[in-house]
Amino acid sequence: MTDINILPPDSGPHDAAETAEIRQAIELLFFAYRDFTSDPDVILSRSGYGRAHHRILHFVGAYPGINVAQLLAILRITKQSLGRVLKQLLKQGFVEQRPGKHDRRQRLLFLTGKGREFEARLSSPQHERVRRAFAAAGPDAVSGYLQVLEHLINESERKIILDAIKRG
Amino acid sequence: MTDINILPPDSGPHDAAETAEIRQAIELLFFAYRDFTSDPDVILSRSGYGRAHHRILHFVGAYPGINVAQLLAILRITKQSLGRVLKQLLKQGFVEQRPGKHDRRQRLLFLTGKGREFEARLSSPQHERVRRAFAAAGPDAVSGYLQVLEHLINESERKIILDAIKRG
DNA sequence: TATTTATGTCAGTCATGTTGACATATTTCG
DNA sequence: CGAAATATGTCAACATGACTGACATAAATA
In a domain, B122, yes or no: yes
In a domain, B125, yes or no: yes
Task: Give pLDDT tens digits for A18-76.
Answer: 899 999 999 999 999 999 999 999 899 888 899 999 999 999 999 999 999 999 999 99
Q: Is the CB of B83 under 7 A from strand C?
A: no
In a domain, B1, yes or no: no
What CATH number corresponds to the domain at position A57?
Answer: 1.10.10.10
The Cα A41–Cα A4 span in angstroms is 56
Instruction: For residue A37, give its domain range.
Output: 21-137
Residue numbers 80-99 of A with CB closer than 7 A to any atom of strand C:
80, 83, 86-87, 97
Task: Give pLDDT tens digits for B18-60.
Answer: 899 999 999 999 999 999 999 999 899 888 899 999 999 999 9
Q: Which of residues 78-117 of A touch B (CB under 8 A)?
A: none
In a domain, B21, yes or no: no
pLDDT of residue B1: 47
In a domain, A155, yes or no: no
In a domain, A54, yes or no: yes
pLDDT of residue A17: 85
In a domain, A11, yes or no: no
pLDDT of residue A2: 46
Counting the structural domains of chain A, the total is 1
| Of the partner residues A36, A140, A152, the one whose CB lies closest to the CB of residue B144 | A140
The rounded mean pLDDT for chain A is 92
SS3 track for B77-145:
CCHHHHHHHHHHHHHCCCEEEEECCCCCCCEEEEECHHHHHHHHHHHHHHHHHHHHHHHHHCHHHHHHH
- B77: the nucleotide nearest its CA (via C1') is C17
- Over residues A132-158, the mean pLDDT reads 97
Residues of chain B with confidence (pLDDT) below 50 = 1-7
In a domain, B71, yes or no: yes
pLDDT of residue A16: 83
pLDDT of residue A27: 97
H/E stretch holding B67 reads strand B66-67
User: Quick one: DSSP state of residue A67?
Assistant: E
